[in-house]
Structure 1
Amino acid sequence: VGNLSSLQHLDLSYNYYDDNPPGFLIIDNAIWISRLSSLRYLNMSDVQFREGAHWLQALNMLPSIVEFLEGKIPVELGELCKLQYLGLSGINISKNLHELDKVFTGCIKNSLETLELVDTKLGGYLPDWLGDFKKLKYLDLSGNSISGSIPESLGRLSALQKLYLLDNKLNGTFPKSLGRLAELVELYLGWNLLEGVMSEEQFANFTKLKYLHLSQNQLILNLTSDWIPPFQLRVLGIGSCKLGPRFPAWLRMLKNITYLDMSSIEISDTIPDWFWRSFSQIFWLDISSNGITDSVPDLIDFIHLYYFNLSSNHFEGPLPNFNSSILQVVDLSNNSFSGAIHLDISKSMPNLEYLSLSTNNLSGEIPLSLCHLRYGALDLSKNLLLGELPDCWNHSSRIFVMDFSSNNLSGSVPPSICSLHFLKSLHLSNNNLSGELPSSLKSCARLNTLDLGQNRFTGKIPTWIGESLLSLKILRLRSNKLVGNIPPNLSRLKALQILDLASNNLSGTIPSSFGNFTAMKVSGEMNETILKSYTYYNENMQVTIKGIYIEYAKLLPLVIVMDLSNNNLSGMIPEELTSLFGLVSLNLSGNHLTGEITEKIGALQQLESLDLSKNNLFDEIPSSIIDLTFLSDLNLSYNKLSGRVPI
């Protein structure tokens, strides 16, 4: 290989063979690399160099090497005096950045033009020596855990064109010295902890800036309404910064924007007409979580629109019409839109993957055209929709989430819903649905969430739930008219975290097999999710704890609840329930349960709420109840308990 004098690109990375022990590509003597006089790109990731292989000496003899990738950062790397590009992104460096000074203070600082260390598990702080790279044009340290403030020394990088410090833990203010970087084209500082005031003066020298991303910080943008920006941006991200209350008039000057994030910037105003006329080229628009009161015109000229989020404002009037074949996300939830959903909605956005119209004042029936859209998630909850659910879902194959809860829907659950083979979350609660639970639901084998609560369903809880819906994490059937015994085979639902059968007419005993719910035996974890296959939609659920309804979303993975209250259950409380160590809330109140409260109740160490009231329990309150150190709500009233209260 060393004789290939015309070779410009050599990649020997990630070569290995499975053996016992496994082997890697090994180089005993790398001096042959120095004969590759035309070489510009060399990737040696996971190549093993023997001691004395002289590979750094060989690299330093190459007249044309500008780009080198390798899985480690040896100190000698800093002596590659001709290196222009160093890309180590994705490699597990796991060191503090400021401790790499011996690498980056050599002669490499005089030649390097690009330094990429994205997602390398770097910690520590941004050292002053970063300002010593005289020719550096591109610096990307995104996706690490770097903390502290941005040093003034970065203002010395006079050739810098792209600065990416996204998704770290940087705090403090925006240093004034960065305002001197007149060559800057891209500045990405989003998803940090930056604070303080940014003034018009700090933007004055950014005449070449095209990309500005400051979202998810706590910066205050002190920009007057008549400010004339010195740049023409394509990307502007200022979400979670403070800018309001007026809608920024200076935005009118930025005619080339395709990405605009102005979420949660404290605007309490209307949107001027010029905005909708001037930004028809936009690709990504997020103005969510403000206080904007206005209507939205039809957006049929927005043919490049991909992401559209106006949620959590005060928009009113009819829903806008769209006309974008690439539109994938529409979130208009938590507003005051009224009127009917457009009948031909599938024609205006045929490739939509997420539609949320939740929490508005929409009325009329659910249009059949919704069945023809290829959503990932469809959320029409908390509106005034009426009529029956459409029975045409066999025309759509990729719906993961369907939420029609809290409307005025009637009739039965249509059989075609479970032709959606990827359906993982089905919310139909708080409607007027009736009939028995249809056997067609057994085909929804991937369901994680089944919420049919607060309807008028009758009949027994079918045994096929415990046979076919083995992926269930949430089963909520509360406030219906269900009768009969609770099927013991529900305990086969090993992933179940929330079981809510309250306020029905169920009878018989609590199955002793309920002590076998595997997921209830351990504490919930925040790194788990109820839904793992869809990113835009956050699973949510209304859970009754401590006698009040609480709606959980982000914290839902931590909620482990069993609620069998307000039925006609009898017999003793199965001792097996005390093996459900992860339970946060246990509610068996309002039944006809008898016997003692087992001393083993103290094993439920995670309990925050325990309600056994309005039963026929007798004997003493077990002393082990004092072991429930997280317990904040205890109700044992209206029983036949006696003896001393444990203290």
Structure 2
Amino acid sequence: MATNSIQFQLVLLFLCIHPWSQLLSNAACTRKDRKALLGFKAEIDDLAGILSSWTGSDCCKWLGVGCDKKTGHVTRLNLRRPDPLGKTLQGNLSSSLLGLRHLRYLDLSLNSFGGISIPSFIGEFKELRYLNLSKSGFVGRVPDELGNLSRLQYLDLQSQSFPVGLYMIDALWISRLTSLWYIDMSGVNLSNCFNLLQALNMLPTVETIHLSLSQMNTIPQSLPHTNFRYLSFLDLSLNDFDSTEIPGFLFSIRSLKHLDLRDSGFRGIVSDAISNLSSLEFLDLSGISMAKIPRSLGSLCNLTILNLENALPSNGLSELGQVLDGCAKDSLQELRLAMNGFSDHIPDWIGDFKNLRILDLYQNNFYGSIPEAIGRLSSLEILGLSRNQLNETVSENIGQLSRLITLDLTFNTLNTTLTEAHFANLKSLKHLDLYNSSLRLNLSSDWFPPFQVEYFYTRGCQFGPKFPSWLRNQRKIQYLDMSGSGITDAMPDWFWNITSHMTELYMSDNQISGKMPKSFSFADNEPVHIDLSYNRLEGALPQLPPNVEGLYLSTNSLSGPIPPTFGNEISNLTYFSISSNNFYGSIPSSLCKLQKLKALDLSKNQFSGEILDCWDKFPDMEYLDLASNSLSGNFPKSISLLGSLKLLDLSNNSLFGPLPDSVECVSVNTLDLSQNNFTGKIPSWISESLPMLRILSLRSNSFIGDIPSNISNLQNLHILDLSSNNFSGSISKNFGNLSSMKVAPAEQSYAYFDDFSWDGLIMKMWVMTKGRYLEYGKLLSLLAVMDFSENNLLGQIPEEITDLHGLQSLNLSGNHFTGNITDKFGDLRLLETLDLSKNELEGKVPASLSGLNFLSHLNLSYNHLQGRIPSGGQMNTFDDSVYAGNDGLCGLPLKVKCDADNGSKVPPTEVGDNGDGHINGMLWYFLGGAPGLVIGFWTVWGALLLNSRWRHAYFTYVDKLCEKFGIRSKYRF
């Protein structure tokens, strides 16, 4: 018996210490719990695939399910979306979950239960300790039944969809959660919940409270008894408290370590009682707009992070230095003073914070130099001085900050030169941002930097003309931007050896020469963007890394065809521009595989053949520019299916035939089909299916028929060019209704000007203005142009066009317009170009034109205009070519005088001895009058000299005539 007992005890001991004992002691999940989980799964749309593992009999092995190892009861259900950017769970929460009677942990966060309320039955999970329903799309009122969870310790109801999301009216139920130590109700609409803080004050063990962005507008100024004995973290930021003073009870919570009042609506006074928060480590008062800085702030000896962005008076810089001259000066590690409007030099006392790791002075008005005091911040890791007015030197002491990781001097006017001394001991530097700082870098070719930089952002700084050879030793660069740096050197071969870690390379707007490599080598773990545009690089299109997302090689000297396999291995390519090069051949069909393309620019090359007709495979295409090639064929029908398209430019090709009968491109705002040979009438979809259209150019085609009056329904249209076609008929007076031409583009209330660029691609277009074609880029958004020239239009120019007060260029030349030029053209005060030449207009030149102060190009030639040309203002700056071919005009700048009485042209015979009339009169005199005078003289006087009887009778008559008028003749014959 004893032997058997000993053997049994040994077996038990073996089982306890053997790994298999773990398996024997783990019970499988109960049948009831498995049934509850399957009931839940039945009503869930599992887009994330989380529930795909929910098969088999043992639910304890299912993904996201945790069980008690002894009883097999499900105690834990974690269905939080694993990837914040991935797919989610959707559907309804089934009450079958109530079968999980032992559930202690429930996490459904980051899913998409949109349109349903938080089920009240959750309040029946009596064992629940942890509940996280944050950012899951729940809407409606937070159920009071959650107050039944008496053992709950952690509650996260963070909402991200107010005002449609969650809301609360009465918070009394929270006071029953006596075990709660963590609560997050950020984003929950609490605007009508007036007892929340009172309820929270009744929780004996609460440590963390998040109430950010909750639309709270009232807060008690005091509490009868402050019960927050363990509260260490309080976030009331981004609310709407309408109070001139921060409530005093907050300063009596001595356990507080983290207090965030950022942009909470408080303003005016911060009490000196803040010194009571002796444990405070984090204080954010940004956006408070304090009238006065509390003197006791500097006595917070544990304070490590202080954020006073947009909180201090602009003249409070020196006062702040005095306030912080206490023990806080030794404890502070992070000091943020951005956006306070300080207009001063950077003070020397800033160098006294010996433990400071982060100093942010972003967007103030600091001027002068970056002082030596900065060099005393020996612990500094991040220095932010961007968007100030620093305009002098940079102290070389900055080069002694051996722990400095990030240096940001962007958007200043530091017209100075950085040398090796400024970087001498920056051995920790990883982020260097000098964008638009007006700095020059004078670094010798044999300099060896002490750092290995990862982000090198120096766009606009001057390196040139030589390529910076010291970059050769930088092997960890991930982001390099040296655009517009004045480099005119050749690209060294070694450069392509340091790109293996790069995900961003921007070197545009230089004059870098040399040949492109055969292939690019970049980082393979993230999307890659490469911009080498506006240089002088030569060679063929390189082989690209498979993860390239953006490639910009426009305006170089690259040549050759696009390889036929180009689109086979770069399926993530989203932005592709090789504009203004010498590429030739057909556009390869492999491009049809680039189904993520949003922007494609192949313009200004020598591509030939027909345009691909696979555009229906590009659902996200927004920008398509194939202009200025030798492409032929009809308009591809699949282009008309691009529902996301915003810009389409097929101009200056050899396309022909009619346009399609319908399109689905409802988002198009720019349509340029100019300089082709399209035929037929303007299809109705241009005016009916493109409500967003802002630019329409059909110039230089073979369109016929009337100009549809309903084009005037395009209320966003501000550039309309239908010139050089075969349009006939008259212009509808409805064109005076174009809203975007009634006011100056810069004054329009809606902001769409950024739509003329797509992630580095800038829309460009040729526009006839000021008498010649000019190419515009982003300034297209500031133009208002109407051009109907060189057609067969007739009738009168509708007076309603003069209602377009934002119009800058109007060209109606080369048509058959008749009637007078209305005096209302003087209402077009922004007009710079007016061309009405080569028509059949009559009447006078309106005097109101002299009031157009911006008019720089005027052409009224070859009409039937009459009368005096008005003077004054810009009219005095035009030469006579403006009025050529109008025989009835007179006055300056013409050399034809006007009648003083009626202002009409003086006939040639009455012209005085000025101008062309004098020349013509003299010519007539010598060719006709002079010989006549000679003949007349000798006919009369020759007869009198030869015949004495005629001579005697003539002078007798003269004497009698003189006597009759009392004139005595002096001569006698």
- Say whether the fold is shared (TM-score over 0.5): yes
Over residues 210-269 of structure 1, what are the superposed CA-to-partner deviations in whole Å (9 max), with x where a residue is unaligned? 221212232221111111112221122222222222222211111211111121222222
Secondary structure, aligned partner of 2:477: coil
Give the match for residue 99 of structure 1.
Answer: 316
CA contact (8 A) 2:735 2:801 kept: yes
- Inter-partner Cα distance in structure 1 for 2:853 and 2:582: 44
Cα deviation, residue 131, structure 1: 3.4
Q: Does the residue aligned with 1:643 lie in a helix, a strand or coil?
A: strand
Give the corresponding residue for 2:278: 62
The count of aligned residue pairs is 637
In 1, Cα distance between equivalents of 2:246 and 2:780 = 55
Q: Which of 162, 180, 195 is the equivalent residue of 2:415?
A: 195
Q: How does 1:219-258 map to 2 (within 5 A)?
A: 219-258=439-478
Alignment partner of 1:162 out of 357, 382, 385: 382
1:359 is aligned to 580
Give distance in 1, aligned partners of 2:684 and 2:756: 27
| 1:565 aligned onto 2:789 | yes
Cα 1:396–1:612, aligned 2, differ >3 Å: closer, same or farther?
A: same
The 8 Å contact of residues 561 and 583 in structure 1, kept in 2 or not, is answered as yes
1:13 counterpart residue number: 212
Q: Determine which structure has more spread, i.e. the larger CA radius of gyration.
A: 2
Matches within 5 A, 1:471-486: 471-486=692-707
Higher strand residue share: 1
In structure 2, the residue matched to 1:42 is 259
Work out which structure has the larger RCO, using CA pairs closer than 8 Å and 6 or more positions apart in sequence: 1
Cα contact 1:73–1:103 (8 A) shared by 2: no
Residues 271, 294 of structure 2: 8 Å contact kept: no
Matches within 5 A, 1:320-469: 320-325=542-547, 327-373=548-594, 374-440=596-662, 442-469=663-690
User: Does 2:496 align with 1:276?
Assistant: yes
When structure 1 is superposed on structure 2, of 414-423 and 338-347 the one drifting more is 338-347
Question: Residues of 1 paired with 2:376 and 2:691: CA distance?
Answer: 60
d(CA) in 1 for partners of 2:581, 2:705? 38
**Displacement after TM superposition at 1:141 (Å):** 3.2
Unaligned runs of 5+ in 2: 1-199, 219-238, 872-973
Q: Is 1:127–2:364 an aligned residue pair?
A: no
Query: Is the helix fraction higher in 1 or 2?
Result: 2
Deviation, structure 1 residue 593: 0.8
Instruction: Return 554-563 or 342-351, whichever deviates more.
Output: 342-351
| Letter in structure 2 aligned against 1:349 | I
* Counterpart for residue 296 of structure 2: 79
After TM superposition, give the deviation of residue 546 of structure 1 in Å.
Answer: 1.7
Deviation at residue 508 of structure 1 after TM alignment: 0.7
CA 1:190–1:61 in structure 2 vs 1: closer, same or farther (change >3 Å)? closer
Compared CA separation, residues 368 and 320, structure 1 to 2 (3 A):
same
Equivalent-residue separation in structure 2 for 1:530 and 1:61 (angstroms): 48
Give, as a single letter, the amino acid of the residue that structure 2 aligns with 1:537.
L
Distance 1:520 1:338 in 2: 42
Counterpart for residue 56 of structure 2: none
2:537 matches 1:315: yes
**Deviation digits for residues 533-584 of structure 1, max 9, x if unmatched?**
8443322221111221111112121111001111111111110010100111
SS in 2 for 1:525: helix
Label 1:32 to 1:627 Cα distance change in 2 as closer, same or farther (>3 A): closer
* Structure-2 change in CA distance of 1:4 and 1:43 (3 Å): farther
Say if 1:58 and 1:245 are closer, same or farther in 2 by CA, change over 3 A. Answer: closer
What amino acid is aligned across from residue 548 of structure 1 in structure 2?
R
Checking the alignment, whether the CA contact within 8 Å between 1:13 and 1:46 is kept in structure 2 is: no
How much does 1:205 deviate? 2.3
Q: 1:451 to 1:530 in 2, by over 3 A?
A: farther
Which amino acid letter does the alignment assign opposite residue 277 of structure 2? M
How far apart in 2 are the matches of 1:231 and 1:65?
A: 32
1:561·1:586 contact (CA, 8 Å) conserved in 2? yes
Distance 2:756 2:322 in 1: 44
Deviation at 1:618, TM superposition (A): 1.1
- Tell me the percent identity: 45
1:129-148 map, 5 Å: 129-143=349-363, 147-148=367-368
Gaps of 5+ in 1: none
Shift in Å, 1:77: 4.7
| Deviates most, 150-159 or 359-368 | 150-159
Equivalent position to 1:586, from 787, 804, 810: 810
**Offset at 1:12?**
3.4
Structure 2 CA distance for partners of 1:8 and 1:297, relative to 1, 3 Å: farther
1:537 equivalent among 726, 748, 761: 761
1:632 counterpart = 2:856 = yes
1:518 equivalent in alignment to 2:743: no
Deviation at residue 293 of structure 1 after TM alignment: 1.6
Deviates more, 1:359-368 or 1:189-198: 189-198
In structure 1, what is the Cα distance between the partners aligned to 2:205 and 2:375?
A: 40
Query: 1:595 — aligned with what?
Result: 819
Distance 1:18 1:343 in 2: 63
Deviation at residue 315 of structure 1 after TM alignment: 1.0
